Structure 1
Amino acid sequence: MKKFLLGSFAAVLILALAACSSASGKDDSGSEDSNDKTITFGVTPWTSTVPPTKIAKLIVEDMGYTVKEIKADAGNVFIGMSRGDIDAFMDAWLPAHENHLKKYEDDLDVTAISYDGVQMGMVVPSYMKDINNVSDLKGKEDLFNNEMYGIEEGASATGIFNNMIEGHGLDLKQVNSSEGGMLAQVKRYTKSEEPVLFFGWRPHTMFNKFDLKVLEDDKNYFEKAAVKVITNKDLKDNSPDVYEFLSNWSIPIDDVEQMIVQIEEEGTDPEVVAQEWIDNNQDKVDAMLGK
């Protein structure tokens, strides 16, 4: 009887411990179950950030995680990653964001190349036949009211453009606003085929909306960009399956541009567009997941 009572007590104790373990959301190793984990993506106010972030979000959710998005400018996204508040950023432009990487290099991981060979720089409408190089702007700044339109003040590209203007000795002032504000000015000037100078990059619907050209730059202030996935250094240990997926990430720039058109021009819900890409590219998704 004594043995029976001890055995019964042990069985009850094991069941109680199992129940407590289940309730705490931890497996036998003591780590939290992935279903209770949250992955946070940083989202900048650029149209190019949305498609890759939404695709990654849906895939990570399918892996059993909760996903949150934090909207911020690029500088604050990098700060958030360095503090561990943001796990991943799908749209880091290098070398434009090199200063952020160097500043927080001990806390960040350059995880994958999303796509490369991306053009960016000073842009004018194609009807400006005599302006093809940044050097062609010298002495013609008054055509543009001595203004060049850029994006938000805190963007890395803003500082590069200021250096470019100074380095080329141009009598220009950079006028900073949101991406939408900048493009509103472009629309206003191109409607009547007036001169306008602004920041342009691919992938972006601006090249679908307007007939544009990126100016050549002999001094190479903007190298052709590579768009990379950056994660905080803790992600690899905290969520190795998510890190492995993101380390295998890649997507064609043409696909991103087409998705931007669907979202921005056609008004399709971003997650619908992202799910359609996943459905049509299951082989790429499987490869990124290591299947």
Structure 2
Amino acid sequence: MVKINWKKLGITVGLSLALFTAGCSSNEEDKADTVGKGQEVELAYVEWDSEVASTHVIAKVLEDLGYNVKITPLDNAVMWKSVATGDADAMVSAWLPGTHQAQYEEYGDKVIDLGPNLEGAKIGLVVPSYMDVNSIEDLTDEAGKTITGIEAGAGVVQATERALEEYSNLADWKLETSSSGAMATALGQAYEKEEEIVVTGWSPHWKFGKYDLKYLEDPKGVYGAEETINTMVREGLEEDMPELYQILDNFYWTMEDMEEVMLMIQDGEDPEDAAAKWVEDNADRVKEWTEGIK
């Protein structure tokens, strides 16, 4: 009968696991050394909940590959300009063709469009479902004839300014601009009391998961159809950092992916921690973005 030395076996298995883990860590570190090599990368973004989520996620992926990533929140127009002038390397926050139409017309020939990183985006006027109004044309004196907006330079705000001109029933309405956070706070407070409120809204956004909301129909098409969120990079990036260019070109996820990160942040998670958790839990998706990178 063969006697098994369980103590020795345990030590052997433990050593094997340690070596395996060390090998995996070494491979990850080697990949970080050979890909990013500590190169500095600056990503610009606008502080919308959607763009906070996407920018922190792609930044985390790049950091794991050894890049030294700086993310800079900017006003919408300044974000576009920073990539166009090369002050920033990239952004993953270009809403096209409608929301950022003005910025694209001004800077589109000075940046490289890598195409959509998310499809099915939408903007418009949003109200709680308990409000008895379904179209912009139905609005009369709801919410004190006031639309609660976000930052003055945002595309959805510019579209709303056009809506005030296009829809005759909005002739004496006013648009109050503030910030994305202030809009969300006002919406939450009104919703809790079942008060009337009309806000500038967009999808993806965590508010649609937290509240029962609806877009108002837009028969004049002021807010446009569904949009994509595109990745834009500075000219010369492909030549300067081809691996970075490839990763950004591969970056693509779904509305559900983005809203998962947004909800974590809304529930109190730090954006960096939320991004790290999502990256860890979605290794297969991240692998698609880094495919072919050595």
Q: Same fold judged by TM-score > 0.5?
A: yes
TM-score by length of 1: 0.82
- Give the 3-state SS of the residue equivalent to 1:101 in structure 2: helix
Do the aligned partners of 1:81 and 1:231 also contact (CA within 8 Å) in 2? yes
Q: Which amino acid aligns with 1:109?
A: I
Q: Which residue of 1 aligns with 2:119?
A: 116
Cα deviation for residue 34 of structure 1 reads 5.0
Q: Which residue of 2 aligns with 1:132?
A: 134
- Give the 3-state SS of the residue equivalent to 2:195 in structure 1: coil
TM-score by length of 2: 0.82
Cα deviation for residue 178 of structure 1 reads 0.6
Separation in structure 2 between the aligned mates of residue 279 and residue 209 of structure 1, nearest angstrom: 25
Separation in structure 1 between the aligned mates of residue 55 and residue 120 of structure 2, nearest angstrom: 20
Separation in structure 2 between the aligned mates of residue 187 and residue 213 of structure 1, nearest angstrom: 14
Separation in structure 2 between the aligned mates of residue 179 and residue 281 of structure 1, nearest angstrom: 28
CA deviation vs aligned residue, 1:34-55 (integer Å, no higher than 9, x gap): 5252110112111111222122
Separation in structure 2 between the aligned mates of residue 224 and residue 173 of structure 1, nearest angstrom: 26
Q: Among residues 103, 107, 112, which one is paired with 2:106 in the alignment?
A: 103
1:178 matched to 2:195? The reply is no
Separation in structure 2 between the aligned mates of residue 34 and residue 271 of structure 1, nearest angstrom: 19
Matches within 5 A, 1:71-220: 71-94=73-96, 95-129=98-132, 131-137=133-139, 140=140, 142-169=141-168, 170=170, 171-220=172-221
Separation in structure 2 between the aligned mates of residue 268 and residue 36 of structure 1, nearest angstrom: 27
Do the aligned partners of 1:119 and 1:214 also contact (CA within 8 Å) in 2? no
Q: Which amino acid aligns with 2:99?
A: A
Separation in structure 1 between the aligned mates of residue 176 and residue 252 of structure 2, nearest angstrom: 34
Do the aligned partners of 1:150 and 1:182 also contact (CA within 8 Å) in 2? yes
- Give the 3-state SS of the residue equivalent to 2:247 in structure 1: helix
Do the aligned partners of 2:125 and 2:216 also contact (CA within 8 Å) in 1? yes
Structure 1 outlier segments of 4+, above 6 Å: none
- Give the 3-state SS of the residue equivalent to 1:49 in structure 2: helix
Provide the identity percentage: 31
Separation in structure 2 between the aligned mates of residue 185 and residue 107 of structure 1, nearest angstrom: 38
Q: Which residue of 2 aligns with 1:259?
A: 261
Deviates more, 1:149-158 or 1:268-277: 268-277
Do the aligned partners of 1:101 and 1:108 also contact (CA within 8 Å) in 2? no
Q: Over aligned residue pairs, what C-alpha RMSD do you find?
A: 1.6
Separation in structure 2 between the aligned mates of residue 63 and residue 215 of structure 1, nearest angstrom: 43
Q: Among residues 57, 60, 84, which one is paired with 1:58 in the alignment?
A: 60
Separation in structure 2 between the aligned mates of residue 190 and residue 277 of structure 1, nearest angstrom: 29
Change (3 A) 1:273 1:191: closer
